[in-house]
Structure 1
Amino acid sequence: MRTMPTRVDGDLYEAAQAVGAAASRSAAQQISHWARIGRELESSARVSARDIQRVLAGEARYDNLSEPEQARVRAEWEEQFAHRIASLDLAAEFTSAGRPWTEADDDGGVVARDPRAH
Protein backbone atom coordinates (compact mmCIF):
# COMPACT_ATOMS: atom_id res chain seq x y z
CA MET A 1 0.00 0.00 0.00
CA ARG A 2 1.33 3.40 -0.98
CA THR A 3 0.77 6.28 1.46
CA MET A 4 0.74 9.97 0.69
CA PRO A 5 0.95 12.86 3.16
CA THR A 6 -2.16 15.00 3.43
CA ARG A 7 -3.58 17.70 5.67
CA VAL A 8 -6.87 17.19 7.48
CA ASP A 9 -9.05 19.47 9.56
CA GLY A 10 -8.17 19.44 13.27
CA ASP A 11 -11.71 18.46 14.27
CA LEU A 12 -11.62 15.50 11.89
CA TYR A 13 -8.26 14.40 13.26
CA GLU A 14 -9.48 14.61 16.88
CA ALA A 15 -12.62 12.65 16.01
CA ALA A 16 -10.48 10.04 14.25
CA GLN A 17 -8.29 9.73 17.36
CA ALA A 18 -11.33 9.21 19.61
CA VAL A 19 -13.16 6.77 17.35
CA GLY A 20 -9.99 5.02 16.22
CA ALA A 21 -8.88 4.34 19.79
CA ALA A 22 -12.07 2.35 20.40
CA ALA A 23 -11.36 0.28 17.29
CA SER A 24 -7.60 -0.07 17.96
CA ARG A 25 -6.75 2.14 14.98
CA SER A 26 -4.47 5.16 14.75
CA ALA A 27 -6.02 8.45 13.64
CA ALA A 28 -4.52 7.95 10.16
CA GLN A 29 -5.92 4.42 9.95
CA GLN A 30 -9.35 5.65 11.07
CA ILE A 31 -9.38 8.41 8.45
CA SER A 32 -8.40 5.86 5.78
CA HIS A 33 -11.20 3.59 7.02
CA TRP A 34 -13.73 6.42 6.75
CA ALA A 35 -12.45 7.32 3.28
CA ARG A 36 -12.91 3.74 2.06
CA ILE A 37 -16.45 3.66 3.51
CA GLY A 38 -17.24 6.97 1.84
CA ARG A 39 -15.89 5.74 -1.50
CA GLU A 40 -18.06 2.63 -1.29
CA LEU A 41 -21.14 4.60 -0.27
CA GLU A 42 -20.77 7.10 -3.09
CA SER A 43 -20.41 4.34 -5.66
CA SER A 44 -23.27 2.24 -4.24
CA ALA A 45 -26.60 2.27 -6.03
CA ARG A 46 -28.21 0.95 -2.83
CA VAL A 47 -27.40 4.01 -0.70
CA SER A 48 -28.82 7.48 -1.23
CA ALA A 49 -26.55 10.14 0.28
CA ARG A 50 -29.40 12.65 -0.02
CA ASP A 51 -31.76 10.43 2.01
CA ILE A 52 -29.08 9.88 4.66
CA GLN A 53 -28.48 13.64 4.95
CA ARG A 54 -32.22 14.22 5.33
CA VAL A 55 -32.37 11.76 8.25
CA LEU A 56 -29.30 13.28 9.89
CA ALA A 57 -30.90 16.73 9.56
CA GLY A 58 -34.11 15.43 11.17
CA GLU A 59 -36.13 15.90 7.97
CA ALA A 60 -36.84 12.21 7.27
CA ARG A 61 -37.45 9.01 9.21
CA TYR A 62 -34.65 6.57 9.95
CA ASP A 63 -37.07 3.63 9.61
CA ASN A 64 -37.71 4.53 5.96
CA LEU A 65 -34.06 3.95 5.00
CA SER A 66 -32.70 0.70 3.59
CA GLU A 67 -30.46 -1.43 5.81
CA PRO A 68 -27.23 -0.10 4.21
CA GLU A 69 -28.49 3.47 4.62
CA GLN A 70 -29.38 2.83 8.26
CA ALA A 71 -25.88 1.44 8.82
CA ARG A 72 -24.39 4.65 7.41
CA VAL A 73 -26.61 6.81 9.63
CA ARG A 74 -25.58 4.79 12.70
CA ALA A 75 -21.91 5.20 11.76
CA GLU A 76 -22.39 8.95 11.43
CA TRP A 77 -24.17 9.13 14.80
CA GLU A 78 -21.35 7.11 16.40
CA GLU A 79 -18.78 9.51 14.98
CA GLN A 80 -20.73 12.54 16.21
CA PHE A 81 -21.13 11.05 19.70
CA ALA A 82 -17.45 10.13 19.93
CA HIS A 83 -16.44 13.64 18.87
CA ARG A 84 -18.76 15.28 21.39
CA ILE A 85 -17.68 12.98 24.22
CA ALA A 86 -14.00 13.59 23.43
CA SER A 87 -14.59 17.34 23.60
CA LEU A 88 -16.31 17.26 27.01
CA ASP A 89 -14.48 18.46 30.10
CA LEU A 90 -17.29 18.61 32.64
CA ALA A 91 -14.93 18.92 35.61
CA ALA A 92 -13.47 22.12 34.15
CA GLU A 93 -16.92 23.40 33.23
CA PHE A 94 -18.36 22.77 36.70
CA THR A 95 -15.24 24.13 38.41
CA SER A 96 -15.34 27.38 36.42
CA ALA A 97 -19.05 27.73 37.22
CA GLY A 98 -18.43 26.97 40.92
CA ARG A 99 -20.84 24.01 40.80
CA PRO A 100 -20.36 20.86 42.90
CA TRP A 101 -20.68 17.43 41.29
CA THR A 102 -20.29 13.75 42.08
CA GLU A 103 -18.49 11.10 40.09
CA ALA A 104 -17.33 7.51 40.45
CA ASP A 105 -13.71 6.69 41.21
CA ASP A 106 -11.84 3.80 39.58
CA ASP A 107 -13.31 1.36 42.11
CA GLY A 108 -16.89 2.54 41.62
CA GLY A 109 -17.02 4.56 44.81
CA VAL A 110 -18.84 7.88 44.87
CA VAL A 111 -16.63 10.97 45.10
CA ALA A 112 -18.12 14.40 45.82
CA ARG A 113 -16.35 17.37 44.25
CA ASP A 114 -16.98 20.94 45.34
CA PRO A 115 -14.78 23.67 43.85
CA ARG A 116 -16.10 26.12 46.45
CA ALA A 117 -14.45 24.09 49.24
CA HIS A 118 -10.92 24.93 48.07
Structure 2
Amino acid sequence: MATMPTRISQDLFESARTVGEARSRSAAQQLDYWARIGRELEASPGITVGEIERILSGQAAYDDLTSGEQAVARVAWQQQIRERAAALDLTEELAAAGRPWPEADADGNVVIRRADAAA
Protein backbone atom coordinates (compact mmCIF):
# COMPACT_ATOMS: atom_id res chain seq x y z
CA MET A 1 0.00 0.00 0.00
CA ALA A 2 1.43 3.36 -1.01
CA THR A 3 1.39 6.17 1.52
CA MET A 4 1.33 9.90 1.00
CA PRO A 5 2.30 12.54 3.55
CA THR A 6 -0.46 14.89 4.57
CA ARG A 7 -1.00 17.58 7.18
CA ILE A 8 -3.56 17.22 9.94
CA SER A 9 -4.25 19.23 13.04
CA GLN A 10 -2.25 18.46 16.17
CA ASP A 11 -5.39 17.73 18.20
CA LEU A 12 -6.64 15.23 15.60
CA PHE A 13 -3.24 13.51 15.66
CA GLU A 14 -3.23 13.40 19.46
CA SER A 15 -6.74 12.01 19.48
CA ALA A 16 -5.74 9.33 16.96
CA ARG A 17 -2.72 8.45 19.05
CA THR A 18 -4.78 8.14 22.23
CA VAL A 19 -7.58 6.11 20.66
CA GLY A 20 -5.09 4.07 18.62
CA GLU A 21 -3.13 3.06 21.72
CA ALA A 22 -6.33 1.77 23.32
CA ARG A 23 -7.00 -0.31 20.20
CA SER A 24 -3.40 -1.43 19.57
CA ARG A 25 -2.99 0.81 16.52
CA SER A 26 -0.49 3.50 15.69
CA ALA A 27 -1.80 7.03 15.17
CA ALA A 28 -1.43 6.53 11.40
CA GLN A 29 -3.37 3.26 11.53
CA GLN A 30 -6.12 4.91 13.58
CA LEU A 31 -6.39 7.80 11.13
CA ASP A 32 -6.55 5.31 8.24
CA TYR A 33 -9.28 3.40 10.08
CA TRP A 34 -11.30 6.57 10.69
CA ALA A 35 -10.87 7.61 7.06
CA ARG A 36 -12.15 4.26 5.76
CA ILE A 37 -15.21 4.37 7.99
CA GLY A 38 -15.85 7.99 7.07
CA ARG A 39 -15.59 7.17 3.37
CA GLU A 40 -18.17 4.42 3.74
CA LEU A 41 -20.47 6.62 5.81
CA GLU A 42 -20.34 9.43 3.27
CA ALA A 43 -21.06 7.01 0.46
CA SER A 44 -24.16 5.84 2.33
CA PRO A 45 -25.89 8.92 3.78
CA GLY A 46 -28.69 6.84 5.34
CA ILE A 47 -26.26 5.23 7.78
CA THR A 48 -25.87 6.66 11.25
CA VAL A 49 -22.46 6.78 12.89
CA GLY A 50 -23.99 6.06 16.29
CA GLU A 51 -25.60 2.84 15.10
CA ILE A 52 -22.35 1.61 13.54
CA GLU A 53 -20.46 2.41 16.76
CA ARG A 54 -23.02 0.47 18.81
CA ILE A 55 -22.59 -2.56 16.56
CA LEU A 56 -18.79 -2.39 16.64
CA SER A 57 -18.81 -2.14 20.43
CA GLY A 58 -21.23 -5.06 20.79
CA GLN A 59 -24.07 -2.95 22.19
CA ALA A 60 -26.46 -3.61 19.30
CA ALA A 61 -27.21 -6.53 16.99
CA TYR A 62 -25.73 -6.69 13.50
CA ASP A 63 -28.99 -8.20 12.20
CA ASP A 64 -30.85 -5.02 13.18
CA LEU A 65 -28.82 -2.95 10.71
CA THR A 66 -29.88 -2.08 7.19
CA SER A 67 -27.86 -3.71 4.42
CA GLY A 68 -25.86 -0.47 3.97
CA GLU A 69 -25.08 -0.27 7.66
CA GLN A 70 -24.03 -3.92 7.64
CA ALA A 71 -21.63 -3.15 4.78
CA VAL A 72 -19.98 -0.40 6.84
CA ALA A 73 -19.71 -2.69 9.87
CA ARG A 74 -18.09 -5.39 7.71
CA VAL A 75 -15.49 -2.91 6.42
CA ALA A 76 -14.62 -1.97 9.99
CA TRP A 77 -14.39 -5.62 11.05
CA GLN A 78 -12.21 -6.50 8.05
CA GLN A 79 -9.81 -3.72 8.98
CA GLN A 80 -9.67 -4.93 12.59
CA ILE A 81 -9.02 -8.51 11.46
CA ARG A 82 -6.22 -7.43 9.10
CA GLU A 83 -4.54 -5.44 11.87
CA ARG A 84 -4.79 -8.23 14.42
CA ALA A 85 -3.62 -10.90 11.98
CA ALA A 86 -0.63 -8.77 10.96
CA ALA A 87 0.36 -8.44 14.62
CA LEU A 88 0.17 -12.17 15.36
CA ASP A 89 3.42 -14.06 15.87
CA LEU A 90 2.88 -17.02 18.13
CA THR A 91 6.24 -18.66 17.42
CA GLU A 92 7.99 -17.00 20.35
CA GLU A 93 5.09 -17.68 22.72
CA LEU A 94 4.79 -21.36 21.74
CA ALA A 95 8.56 -21.87 21.82
CA ALA A 96 8.76 -20.32 25.30
CA ALA A 97 6.00 -22.67 26.46
CA GLY A 98 7.84 -25.63 24.92
CA ARG A 99 4.83 -26.47 22.74
CA PRO A 100 5.09 -27.70 19.13
CA TRP A 101 3.04 -25.95 16.40
CA PRO A 102 2.06 -26.73 12.81
CA GLU A 103 3.15 -24.54 9.90
CA ALA A 104 3.00 -24.80 6.14
CA ASP A 105 6.35 -25.09 4.38
CA ALA A 106 7.15 -23.39 1.05
CA ASP A 107 5.34 -26.18 -0.83
CA GLY A 108 2.23 -26.00 1.34
CA ASN A 109 2.98 -29.16 3.29
CA VAL A 110 2.20 -29.19 7.00
CA VAL A 111 5.28 -29.49 9.18
CA ILE A 112 5.48 -29.59 12.96
CA ARG A 113 7.88 -27.08 14.46
CA ARG A 114 9.40 -27.56 17.87
CA ALA A 115 10.75 -25.04 20.37
CA ASP A 116 14.27 -26.49 20.27
CA ALA A 117 14.40 -26.04 16.47
CA ALA A 118 12.90 -22.51 16.41
CA ALA A 119 16.09 -20.72 17.43
Per the shorter chain, which TM-score range? 0.5 to 0.7
Q: State TM-score, norm by structure 2.
A: 0.66
Paired residue for 1:113? 113
Among all aligned residue pairs of Structure 1 and Structure 2, give the percentage whose two residues are the same amino acid: 44
* Stretches of structure 1 lacking an aligned partner (at least 5 in a row): 17-29
Asked if residue 97 in structure 1 is aligned to residue 106 in structure 2, the reply is no
Paired residue for 2:67? 67
- Counterpart of 1:101 in structure 2: which amino acid? W
How many Å apart are 1:45 and its aligned residue?
A: 4.1
How many Å apart are 1:81 and its aligned residue?
A: 0.4
* 1:51-77 deviations in Å (ceiling 9; x for gaps): 111111222111111122111100110
Name the count of aligned residue pairs.
Answer: 102
Paired residue for 1:76? 76
Asked whether the equivalents of residues 37 and 76 of structure 2 are also in contact (C-alpha less than 8 Å), the reply is no
Q: Kindly tell me: are residues 99 and 36 of structure 1, through their superposed partners in 2, closer, same or farther at Cα, counting changes over 3 Å?
A: closer
Asked whether the equivalents of residues 103 and 111 of structure 2 are also in contact (C-alpha less than 8 Å), the reply is yes
For residues 15 and 111 of structure 1, what CA distance do their matches in structure 2 show?
34
Asked whether the equivalents of residues 54 and 60 of structure 1 are also in contact (C-alpha less than 8 Å), the reply is yes
Asked if residue 52 in structure 1 is aligned to residue 52 in structure 2, the reply is yes
Q: Kindly tell me: are residues 96 and 46 of structure 1, through their superposed partners in 2, closer, same or farther at Cα, counting changes over 3 Å?
A: same
Give the CA RMSD over aligned residues.
3.2
Q: State TM-score, norm by structure 1.
A: 0.67
For residues 91 and 36 of structure 1, what CA distance do their matches in structure 2 show?
32
* Stretches of structure 2 lacking an aligned partner (at least 5 in a row): none
2:7 to 5, 9, 13: 5
For residues 49 and 55 of structure 2, what CA distance do their matches in structure 1 show?
10
Structure possessing the higher relative contact order (Cα contacts under 8 Å, 6 or more residues apart): 1
